Structure 1
């Protein structure tokens, strides 16, 4: 939040909302709405490319996304008008891209580490690939570690340098920081292929230009803590799955940030000199694998895709609040999904009338240290001494990694069946409907805005052609002094009109009328364009 160029404010029930100004009005937008806008734009691109209406999609998420984030992603897809065929972890489908690329070379089972370091998240997956079968054995990661962190570290470094050099504080100016961050991201990319570069931003703050040198060594020093954290997560993932380094046959790089030389060096040293696999484009691997999976699900597939089988795992343990603030684990981390687990529970106090379940996700012993997912109540159980009344609790994770919990009282058969959502943070049906209506409204507004821009650009181009023709010496010789003044005034007036209406709301009809009048006046003096 400290480095974002926009504000985060508290919405209903403590839900974080993004505050933006749109057409002069301040609006509060949820993360799911922003995500749906991105998905809507991608859908439009796909529609144009395929000349068809795309209705379904396979959506990938970071492996370490918990249940709430996965559900929020699915909600965003609903708002974007997409039916989610499958929600799947990014490194899992990246393994598909690698596996198909290497299919002819793979003999027998191969143990593969997928090292996925992107712009905002980091995931590690351990996958066994054997004759088209992709079996995930372990995942680990950090949902808040990636290239943006490297950019921000560099930006913080240059903020200090700018403040020291110019005796001006830019840390409170979001626009200046955003421009500096863009320059830092560009420098980061350049440093992957050269040992130093120059950061240059014209008129960064208060009219001051900024220019500074940064070396690859300095970049590595600034981000060494993040790089070390990546290696720690790799090590933890291997330990959780009880894999030894020597068991790993391939280390596959996925995500743009894996191009950083220091990351590659540290990873190679961690695996004792093993060559890293770079045959798959790190920017395209996830999308490629998702497309293959979509082809398999939709039935449009060749023999190689038909043989593909994928099994993912749950990234975090799932359980409920037990006596003494302890989390009773129902589904341990790295359990293959889909999965169903059941357990019988009993009352813990005399004459208890309800079973009250709080559901959590995480690896800590105390429930308060884990992620709260939601709660539900099984009402009207037979009143008796403690330990008499019993209920069967069931945790079910579907292929998308989403959780459903149910409970049944064994004597009366009383049941409750709920899809776990965090009531405070999740989107209600009413909110989803509102987002859908807003999306339709914004679509109309966007279409109108596009028409205005096209009309304005059309007029601007016509004025440019007028100006170019009027400045032609041969044309000027043909005109009388009176007509020459008229035509010069006409062009000058059109230029002023364009400048005045550049930054304000314009009407498409008004622009079209302006162009029509210009054409008539121009044609009367000089004749139509050839």
Structure 2
């Protein structure tokens, strides 16, 4: 098999790596940068990705698309989409299947883009960078996703990769990839328990792993796919908007035209992100913007202020860590290594609260927080593409089910068959009875999630059984077996015990949300894909 690369597809930044000849290296973009902003700009002359896209979006903010990872695989009416929509300068509309579409104008034509299409532009740019660096046409890839991504979000990510022309060898979780990078350089991990705390630009994940001599197992996961550095920026932005109203007696929302308002907020957001980064090293700085509607803006901001604006979010990450440990029935004293990855872990307060939670334990900083995930993905890509790993050892990692899996029952609650954090492959089995007299058929609806009622969980698929023996309610038993294999494929088998009639449904959790024809059509559309 040909060379394969690993991609950390982040909310705010992406990183690409390749493992060959026994070495793993980061692939720089054409600007010589080791990371590329996850930012796409639709201009009159084409599509820009990365640093240049950010610069061009200042004048036309509604054509600059970012945070697409917070849209991909979600429904339009998802509370997270509705919340983020208020902070985005680009337009989000509802598609007839309740999918979110990004609406913008390019060369006088109104475009309605799926999040997968925008994500594909980012992946295509990263693919071109890899082609330029290797002198080859890279086809195979391992892409990382948040550990707490739903199966719909994972499917949509894979569709984006296919639109970009990739063959996806595997999707692996970001903290699992980071653990692979950590394990690769570690001298001895036998019988060590490792916690990966991954706080990026848009998502937060925790993975708990147990290592033996040559294998690591994920024994617990948790997270929030809508919590990260972007939220810290937004809280600071809201504070600055309030100070502008107080100090300069005007409101961007109330007094300016829509286009000028969007452009001004885009400049403010960029400045807030810059201030956040400065406060990593400084205890005090200021937000300065010249020629801001005829005046110069200056707002003093201290590290203490920034931390107070976001302390509730910082503490939410610790609550998730605590839940992961409780679910795994492991005390924090049993954790041997705590690894911080993701750019947002550079915030001093984050390091402090994590150390405090683990009783002032020294944190492991042997991996680069911006590059570890891509390195781990590259190691996995090399392993899967049958390239020899010229290193002393290569750990394999067994993952777990990130969500519980179960069936809807009569009162619309979810009857759990496979619990969250079960090591895969795994299997669960339960017996169910008919709910009314002379029942001839039953619809088995499979869901994933941790909520009591199925309406609050994610639907995976539906299996219909007909020709049931007509008897009194409760006299006919249906035996349901759910199996999850190593590749994340769910099989559900239902058998009526009295007749031994079996129906089977295979739910490929990597199956297409877009059809093959839809993906081919998008790739062939030269207006959208260049």
If the length of structure 2 is used for normalisation, what is the TM-score? 0.78
Partner of 2:116: 32
Partner of 1:62: 146
Please state which structure has a larger fraction of its residues in strand.
Answer: 2
Deviations 1:85-105 (A, max 9, x none): 111111011111111122x2x
Q: 1:299 to 1:90 in 2, by over 3 A?
A: same
Q: 1:54 to 1:324 in 2, by over 3 A?
A: same
Counterpart check, 1:132 vs 2:214: yes
Secondary structure, counterpart of 2:455 in structure 1: helix
Secondary structure, counterpart of 1:227 in structure 2: helix
Query: Aligned match of 1:16 in 76, 94, 100?
Result: 100
Deviation at 1:47, TM superposition (A): 1.5
Q: Which deviates more from structure 2 when the two are superposed, residues 265-274 or residues 373-382?
A: 373-382
Deviations 1:361-417 (A, max 9, x none): 211222233233343323333444434544443333343545444434453645242
Query: Aligned match of 1:174 in 262, 277, 290?
Result: 262
Deviations 1:91-140 (A, max 9, x none): 011111111122x2x26311111000000000011111222311111011
Larger Rg: 1
Pick 1 or 2: higher relative contact order, CA cutoff 8 A, min separation 6.
2
Query: Aligned match of 1:114 in 196, 220, 237?
Result: 196
Deviation at 1:429, TM superposition (A): 4.3
Counterpart check, 1:271 vs 2:353: no
Deviation at 1:12, TM superposition (A): 1.6
Partner of 1:459: none
Structure 2: gaps (5+ residues): 1-84
Query: Aligned match of 1:163 in 209, 221, 245?
Result: 245
Deviations 1:482-518 (A, max 9, x none): xxxxxxxxxxxxxxxxxxxxxxxxxxxxxxxxxxxxx
Q: 1:178 to 1:396 in 2, by over 3 A?
A: farther
8 Å CA contact 1:381–1:412 kept in 2: the answer is no
Deviations 1:154-180 (A, max 9, x none): 111111111222222223622211111
8 Å CA contact 2:427–2:484 kept in 1: the answer is yes
Deviation at 1:19, TM superposition (A): 1.2
Secondary structure, counterpart of 1:313 in structure 2: coil
Query: Aligned match of 1:197 in 285, 299, 302?
Result: 285
8 Å CA contact 1:374–1:420 kept in 2: the answer is no
8 Å CA contact 1:63–1:91 kept in 2: the answer is yes
Q: 1:385 to 1:107 in 2, by over 3 A?
A: closer
Partner of 2:225: 143
Distance 1:339 1:54 in 2: 34
Query: Aligned match of 1:386 in 473, 491, 503?
Result: 473
Distance 1:266 1:307 in 2: 33
Secondary structure, counterpart of 1:337 in structure 2: coil
Distance 1:409 1:5 in 2: 54
What is the count of residue pairs matched by the alignment?
Answer: 439
Distance 2:270 2:353 in 1: 26
Distance 2:501 2:515 in 1: 30
Partner of 1:356: 443
Q: 1:209 to 1:394 in 2, by over 3 A?
A: farther
8 Å CA contact 1:67–1:403 kept in 2: the answer is no
8 Å CA contact 1:373–1:420 kept in 2: the answer is no
Query: Aligned match of 1:311 in 385, 398, 403?
Result: 398
Distance 2:383 2:345 in 1: 29
Please state which structure has a larger fraction of its residues in helix.
Answer: 1
Counterpart check, 1:333 vs 2:420: yes
8 Å CA contact 2:183–2:395 kept in 1: the answer is no
Deviation at 1:41, TM superposition (A): 1.7
Secondary structure, counterpart of 1:364 in structure 2: coil
Deviation at 1:304, TM superposition (A): 4.0
Partner of 2:130: 46
1:508-527 maps to which residues of 2 (within 5 A)? Answer: none
8 Å CA contact 1:154–1:184 kept in 2: the answer is yes
Distance 2:120 2:301 in 1: 37
Q: 1:109 to 1:327 in 2, by over 3 A?
A: same
8 Å CA contact 2:489–2:510 kept in 1: the answer is no
Secondary structure, counterpart of 1:12 in structure 2: coil
